[in-house]
């Protein structure tokens, strides 16, 4: 059977993050990608200039169209900027008994632009996080979800991950990419286990879409039948190498994208 994953997220007009990054990741990892677009953004490598939210009833129509026809093996959820969108997605996933849900709680773009309305955070915690197999916050998102200061070490990261676990997801992958240590350490935390995912920190300004890419890479692994631990390990490796190859691309004048197709594109 063909492995299929769906991304439910916002569109990035510059192609580096959001729906575009997710579909590139699915394709690079051998998974057929479907999409449900929740918002349109006017953005580039330097920032977000406008956001146009997709009406909740049209989000519902997209979800129903995809799930009634395609055999969806995994779901990646990204940008949901409004309460109505969160509710529409939660109801749609419940209606279609969606499995292998990877939730990336997108709150702020790499440029620093806010992508999630403050009043939507409570809805995200109540309606979607409990449905997730894994939630993948970065350090800033974890702090916002737990109302705690930014984690300074792995002990802080674990404590915040466990706070998020109390909201109901089965697993939390708290990402250390925004830290300043020599290694980028992510913690995969479940009720009974902690797994460290470690990779050398790569010096580059081209990191636009890193979080989207990691969560969609995990979803791709789940769609192919991998267990969560293996999918997370393989996703970490893929993202690390896509960052390592990012400077091979010349895209924009700000924070450029990862090189999603580093395995197949010519380096000349």
> Is 210 one of the catalytic residues?
yes
Candidates 110, 210, 213, 240; catalytic one = 210
Backbone angles phi, psi at 77, to 5 degrees: -115, 130
Catalytic residue among 211, 221, 236, 256: 211
**Shortest CA distance to 22 belongs to which of 68, 98, 77, 92?**
77
- Contact partners, residue 214, CB within 8 Å, separation at least 6: 104, 136, 175, 235, 236, 239
How far from 162 is each of 90, 110, 168, 171, 172, CA to CA, in Å? 23, 25, 10, 9, 8
Distance of CA 189 to the CA centre of its chain: 17
From the candidates 209, 221, 236, 256, give the one annotated as an active-site residue: 209
- Choose among 125, 151, 129: nearest CA to 140: 151
Reported as half-sphere exposure (CB side, CA atoms, 13 A), residue 17 has a value of 31
What are the CA-CA distances from residue 242 to residues 5, 58, 97 (Å)? 20, 33, 33
Choosing from 7, 41, 207, 240, the catalytic residue is 207
237 assigned to active site: no
The token pair at 172 is 């939390």
Distance (Å, whole) CA 248 – CA 6: 28
**3-class DSSP assignment, residue 267:** coil
Catalytic residue among 24, 76, 175, 236: 175
Q: Residue 102 is inside which H or E element, if any?
A: strand 101-103
Q: How many residues does the chain have?
A: 268
Annotated active-site residue 27? The verdict is no
Catalytic residue at 76? no
Residues noted as catalytic? 175, 207, 209-212
């Amino acid at each position: 059977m063909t492995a299929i994953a769906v991304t439910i997220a916002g569109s990035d007009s510059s192609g580096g993050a959001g729906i575009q990054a997710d579909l590139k990741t699915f394709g690079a990892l051998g998974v057929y990608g479907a999409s449900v677009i929740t918002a349109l953004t006017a953005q580039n490598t330097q920032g977000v200039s406008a956001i146009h939210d997709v009406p909740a009833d049209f989000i519902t129509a997209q979800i129903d169209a995809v799930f009634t026809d395609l055999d969806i093996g995994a779901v990646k959820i990204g940008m949901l900027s409004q309460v109505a969108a969160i509710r529409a997605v939660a109801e749609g996933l419940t209606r279609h008994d969606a499995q292998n849900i990877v939730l990336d709680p997108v709150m702020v773009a790499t440029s620093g632009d806010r992508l999630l309305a403050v009043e939507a955070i409570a809805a995200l915690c109540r309606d979607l996080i409990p449905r997730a197999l894994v939630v993948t916050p970065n350090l800033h998102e974890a702090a916002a979800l737990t109302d705690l200061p930014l984690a300074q070490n792995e002990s802080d990261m674990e404590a915040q991950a466990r706070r998020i676990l109390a909201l109901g997801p089965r697993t939390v992958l708290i990402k250390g990419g925004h830290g300043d240590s020599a290694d980028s350490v992510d913690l995969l935390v479940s009720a009974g286990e902690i797994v460290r995912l470690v990779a050398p920190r790569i010096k580059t300004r081209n990191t636009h879409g890193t979080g989207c890419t990691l969560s969609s890479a995990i979803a791709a692994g789940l769609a192919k039948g991998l267990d969560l631990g293996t999918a997370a390990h393989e996703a970490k490796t893929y993202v690390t190498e896509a960052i390592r190859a990012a400077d091979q691309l010349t895209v924009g004048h700000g924070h450029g994208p990862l090189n999603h197709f580093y395995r197949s594109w010519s380096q000349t």
